[in-house]
Amino acid sequence: MKLKEIYNSNKPIISFEIFPPKAQNTDELNQKINDLFEELRILSEFNPAFISVTYGAGGSTRETTLDIVTKIKNNMNIQPMPHFTCVGSSRGDILEYLKKIESAGIENILALRGDPPKGETKFVKPVDGFGYANELVEFIKSNTNLSIAVAAYPECHMECCSLDQDIENLKRKIDNGADVAITQVFYDNNCYFEFLEKTQNKGINIPIIPGILPITSYSQIERISTLSGCKLPDELSQKLAENKDDSEAIKQIGIEFAVKQANELLKSGVSGIHFYPLNKAFAVKTVLENIKTEQRV
C-alpha cells in the first residue's frame, strides 16, 4: 500500500523507524538482527502501517538495509519503507538500487539528502549525483513508481539559515513529488503546530507526520539535542536535570512526557505518529499502551 493510501484513513496511523545494527562480523550481525526482530515482534502488536529502515552514511548499510526491509515484508507482513540518501551515489548507482527495491515489492521510500560520512564535516555532492533531497525526489518520481516520503524540520534544519527558508526547501521536495513528510524529533508541540501553520500558508497540504522519541536516558537526550538542535520545554528540562543520575526516574519522566505529547498531537487531529524506538520496544510499547489512538478529529 502506498503512502497516499496509508494516510487516507479515519484513524491515526502508527509507524516506527529502526536502524540496521552494526557488528564486527557476520555472526554478530545476524544475532543483532535476530534481536532486532524480537523487538519488532513486540511492536507489531500495535499494527504499524509501516516500518522505516535507515540507511547508513555513504551507503555503509545499504545491503543490510535491503535485507532487513525484505525480511520485514516477507516475514512480518508489514510494509517496510527504506531510507535512501544522496551521499556517495551516482545516478546510475541510485537507479540500480531503486530497481532492487521495486523488484522486492517495496512501494514506499524515504528520500533524504543525508549526513556526511563519519569523519567529514561537510556534505559533498557526488560526481553525477545529487546535492539536495528535492533533486533525489524528482529523480525517484521520474524513474520509479515508488511513493515518496521526505523529512521535515519543525525547528529548522541545523544547516539552514532560517525556518522560512527551510519551509521553501520542503516545498521544493513536495513540488517534485513527495507524498508525505515525517518530522525530525521534537519535544515542544507548539513548535510543530506553528510549523504546520507556516507550511499551510505556503500551500503545503500533504500530511506532515510528527516524530516522537521517548527519552530513556539523560546522555541520550543531551546527544540528540546537540545533533538535532531540538529544544526541551523548561519543565521537562528541569525534571530531567534534577534526576540525571537516576536512570529509572529518567525513563519514567521520558515515557510520561511522550504519552502526554502524543495524546495532545492526536487530539489535534494529526494523520499519524512516527515513533523512533531506537531498536528497543519497551519505551514505545509503554507509550502506545497509554495513548488514545482513536482521538483523531
As annotated, the active-site residues are: 17
Q: In the structure, how many helices (H) and strands (E) does the chain have?
A: 11, 8
Nearest to 70 by CA among 112, 114, 106, 107: 106
* Residue 17 CA, distance from chain mean position: 5
Task: Show the CA angle centred on residue 54, arms to residues 178 and 69, nearest 5°.
Answer: 90
Residue 270: phi and psi, rounded to 5, are -60, 150
Give me 164's grid cell. 522560512
The total number of residues written for the chain in this structure: 297
Strands 108-112 and 208-212: unpaired
Nearest to 149 by CA among 6, 263, 295, 292: 6
Nearest to 275 by CA among 284, 266, 283, 267: 284
Q: Which residue has the cell 489512538?
A: 293
CA dist., res. 262 & res. 241, Å (int): 22
**C-alpha separations of 54 from 100, 121, 261, 276 in Å:** 16, 20, 24, 11
CA dist., res. 170 & res. 77, Å (int): 31
CA dist., res. 248 & res. 95, Å (int): 47
Do residues 38 and 67 make contact, with C-beta atoms less than 8 angstroms apart?
no
How many other CB atoms are there within 10 angstroms of residue 244's CB atom?
A: 15
How many other CB atoms are there within 10 angstroms of residue 28's CB atom?
A: 12
